[in-house]
Structure 1
């Protein structure tokens, strides 16, 4: 087998980072050269693995932008915040030997720059890794548009027209000028619409979630390789802190509340969580690196922690209440923990709808959150008949490592795979 150079590029929070890190380490284990590009603040996670790491610029002020979590304006915030980092990809590839076999394994927001690399390095292959189903546009059911489910009776023609309108109204005004300016500078023709073009950029697309969570849709890009949740914990052997262990042993399983490591605007969420847990007479653990978001004076029945591996904590939890990030969602599914999803924006509404459809969760949009609704939602969730049996059944679907092996097989081989016709030509 010919050794290749895999250049792995991701952006975003730790939840975005860890699946790409799992793939990068699996490729290295097969004897390939792997370079890892990610926001500089993730260096402490990546550098201990020994992977060559290039830190990308990240404006952490974006975390304080209230529009970051807006259902329609959030894309613009993320796009503008990631462009300085994405601009580093092309120079990185230009510096590589042109004769070196190279594959770019990238987050979908890096695809415009990955396509430019074909000019700098004509033999480069591009693989896009999709973290969540909502990142792949479809007109088929189940279809969520932010917090709203599109009824099954809406015809496909109307759905296609809707997505074209979304592109013209919300996506192209934000991104298309940047994309086409860069393409013109590299001697490439402009593209008329980002949504119509970007899914066709990669040579192969990978889903970092299984088909039992989201079945393949007829209009998803091909060739497509179905993976699994590549759950990764850089501190897999870490034990719970002494304080947390003592807390867990002191009473019944607690509710665990988090709203994502990257959310600096969750003070109201934690106030409602505190009030609801108090009213329910439940013990609680609040997870956030931002201590100021959690009420200052917690009773002995409640505990704040800045970071705890969910793999270690969730088996001891009565339920997880969270934002619906795909990594957090998957960890709860694996642990067999009931979930109450409180989505804000991006893929979170769709993730919440999918775990609700599995019968292991409920969803309450963050815009509707208050103490009374949170109390009612938690009561309904935890009192649902058959909940424990359903969470155990879903947890039993996890096959550690199988999805990563399948994706690495495709990335490193010319062979056909059953779920990716026709075969992508790698290397």
Structure 2
């Protein structure tokens, strides 16, 4: 089977596709990855057949802000994801699909232009949930903006379409994704570029990150670091594209990196303090770890709420993020067994979900219908 995967050129958008793409390639399927130019060399180095498609989120944001200089954020986001990004993806992908027709297109949920290109080429398309669905009030406001992508059809969801691969376990379920007519549960498998073996600096170990988008929130990083410094713990910090020096002096028990092999770190961690990005949320949950979430934007606030309601984490927002409150929450999460027990229950839910290899036959059957 020929499968084309399409995703935005961004870590949190593209990397969730790679475990399934790698499993499909290993199973003998012909796999092509389509993304923006910034990530094409990385995928090529991993041995994937690639196509350069679409523009970056940053480019789309700059143009959307130019169009709505004084408009609300929601108008900027709808322009980005309902107009600028999908139009460019569709235009770039249509000739690719015409020249090399795949049997199936799998796109991360925000890359909906790939769904439009697949629809016009007569190829089945399946979305994959890299994050939370749009809240109903925003979805209703955005519906007309997405209508052109679906050529007048009315899919179950303007981004997820009528078929989706759902990475959320039952304890953290996204009710909108769960209601899509054709749904394929898939275990969220952590993925990061190949790296040398990582050695833990000791325990108890806290992993602190604000991901690859919110990494500029230096005050949040500093408050979290100063709070964790009050506890007898080791801390590993990943600042992503940020500058480690921007954090200033750190205690001897703290290691600051740009990037770490996150899954290796999570295997040794006792607590994760992070921004609430879906990849880190699911990665920590896969390892049964309590989580302290400091949401900064996008769907991170919803992830924090759902994780707190599930019982394996706590969250702090805005002015709550002070060193003393971070220390209190971290002490609670490390010291009260109920949080680890609830996190272990979530880990078992994830372990019971189909693996990328397990889900391939159902995707083959779907493509063949």
Instruction: Give the helix-richer structure, 1 or 2.
Output: 2
- Given that 2:160 and 2:177 are in contact with CA atoms closer than 8 Å, whether structure 1 keeps it comes out as no
Q: For 1:57 and 1:8, how far apart are their aligned partners in 2?
A: 16
Structure 2 counterparts to residues 367-382 of structure 1, below 5 A? 368-382=320-334
Q: 2:109·2:127 contact (CA, 8 Å) conserved in 1? A: yes
Task: Find 1:257's aligned residue among 208, 211, 223.
Answer: 208
- The CA deviation string for residues 48-94 of structure 1, in whole angstroms up to 9 with x for no partner, is 332111234325478999x9xxxx82683485278347513344333
Q: Which residue of 1 aligns with 2:124?
A: 125
* Pick aligned residue for 2:182 from 190, 204, 223: 223
Deviation readout 1:136-194 (Å, 9 max, x if unpaired)? 66xxxxxxxxxxxxxxxxxxxxxxxxx3x54455x36xx71xx56777xxxx45x7xx9
What is the match of residue 196 of structure 2? 238
TM-score (norm 1): 0.72
What value does the CA root-mean-square deviation take over the aligned residues? 3.5
Q: Relative to 1, partners in 2 of residues 1:270 and 1:24: Cα closer, same or farther, differing over 3 Å?
A: same
Q: Bigger shift: 316-325 or 398-407?
A: 398-407
2:237 corresponds to which residue?
286
- Per the alignment, do residues 376 and 326 of structure 1 end up closer, same or farther by CA in structure 2, a change over 3 Å counting? same
1:381-420 → structure 2 map (5 Å cutoff): 381-399=333-351, 402-413=354-365
Structure 2 counterpart of 1:312, from 243, 259, 264:
264
2:254 and 2:56 map into 1 onto residues whose CA distance is 34
Segments of 5+ residues of structure 2 without an aligned counterpart are: 66-71
Residues 346-401 of structure 1, C-alpha deviations (whole Å, 9 max, x = no match): 22222223332333211112463222332232233223243343334433444388
> What's the secondary structure of 2:355's corresponding residue?
helix
Residue aligning to 1:114: 115
- TM-score when scaled to structure 2? 0.82
Query: What is residue 80 of structure 2 aligned with on the other side?
Result: 80
User: Could you tell me which residue of structure 1 aligns to residue 307 of structure 2?
Assistant: 355
Find the aligned partners of 1:238 and 1:396 in 2 and give their Cα distance. 28
List per-residue Cα deviations over 1:272-309 (Å, max 9, x = no partner): 12221233454322211312574222231222111111
2:201 is aligned to: 248
Change (3 A) 1:220 1:391: closer
Distance 1:315 1:365 in 2: 27
After TM superposition, give the deviation of residue 261 of structure 1 in Å.
1.7
TM-superposition CA deviations, 1:73-125 (whole Å, max 9, x none):
26834852783475133443334457945321112223245224433x2x311
Partner of 1:346: 298
Q: Which residue of 2 aligns with 1:213?
A: 172
Asked if the contact 2:286–2:351 (Cα under 8 Å) also holds between the matched residues in 1, the reply is no
2:218 maps to 1:267: yes
CA distance in 1, matches of 2:74, 2:214: 13
Matched, 1:52 2:5: no
The aligned runs of 1:133-144 (5 Å cut-off) are 134-135=132-133
Contact 2:168 2:174 in 1 (8 A): no
Q: 1:39: Cα distance to partner?
A: 3.1
- 1:92–1:282 CA distance, 2 compared to 1 (3 A): same
